Amino acid sequence: SDFIVGLTGGIGSGKSAAAARFTEHGIAAIDADVAAREVVEPGQPALAAIAERFGPDVLLANGELNRAKLREIIFNNAEHKTWLESLLHPLIRQRIADFLQAATSPYALLVSPLLVESNQKEMVDNVVVVDVPEAIQLERTMARDGNTEQLVRNIMAAQATREQRSAAANFVIDNSADLASLYLQVDDIHRQLLLLAEA
Ligand code: ATP
């Protein structure tokens, strides 16, 4: 696709739910979190490089990445963290770019929690933000993941604020009501994006 739309929002805001509705309209979508996992799947060069640098402990018995171990290694070690990010970020970016380029829908969607915070915003022509009050964000995320309030609050604190996201938005979806309301808003924005993509 020549026209790329970023779909972002904080943890548990409803990005996946919104993306599913865009997909129903035939819009190709890639999730940045999924792309980030794919580049370290067994057989990928990045996983071999990680095992080479940090030793076999960073792999599980089945050959997959031991994420908990890797988190522990880079936690409080800025040099390791920088090394890992320099390895993975270009690979993730390339994977996303390849997908978006190959997509044949009228526009293509990049779903990413950190679109505003990262250089991923440079990859998109338009930004759609899914917005919910923090209380709803907390409640839905805790219900979905079974995490403690403190853990979710820590993740929220490391992400952009609602104000920062909204400032970068071309379209804002209010996902504080039910899914029917979310879908109506997605349908309306989809129609507008089709016009923008044609122009
Ligand atoms: P993450 O960044 O953590 O991947 P997300 O932004 O993709 O989250 P979703 O997983 O789409 O968020 O939504 C969070 C949770 O809230 C899910 O369990 C989802 O089913 C639910 N949810 C989303 N929108 C609504 C809504 N309008 N009404 C009720 N529940 C909703």
The structural domains of the chain, ordered by start, are: 1-27+107-199 (3.40.50.300), 35-104 (3.40.50.300)
pLDDT for 169 equals: 97
Tell me the pLDDT band of 71, cut-offs 50, 70 and 90: very high
pTM summary value? 0.93
Q: Which amino acid is at 183?
A: Y
pLDDT for 175 equals: 98
Name which of 190, 181, 184 is nearest 105 in CA terms. Answer: 190
For residue 16, report the distance from its CA to the centre of ligand 1, in Å. Answer: 6
Q: Tell me phi and psi for residue 65, to 5 degrees.
A: -65, 130
Tell me the pLDDT band of 199, cut-offs 50, 70 and 90: confident
Residue 13 CB less than 6 A away from ligand 1: yes
Instruction: Supply angle C-alpha 6, 9, 15, rounded to 5.
Output: 75
Strands laid side by side in the 4-8 sheet: 28-31, 108-111, 4-8, 126-131, 171-174
Tell me the pLDDT band of 46, cut-offs 50, 70 and 90: very high
Q: Going by DSSP bridges, is the β-strand pair 171-174/108-111 parallel, antiparallel, or unpaired?
A: unpaired
The Cα 166–Cα 130 span in angstroms is 9
Q: In this prediction, does ipTM exceed 0.95?
A: yes
Counting ligand 1 atoms within 8 A of each CB, the residue from 7, 11, 13, 22 with the most, and so the one to mutate, is: 13
**Side-chain-side CA neighbours of residue 53 (13 Å):** 16
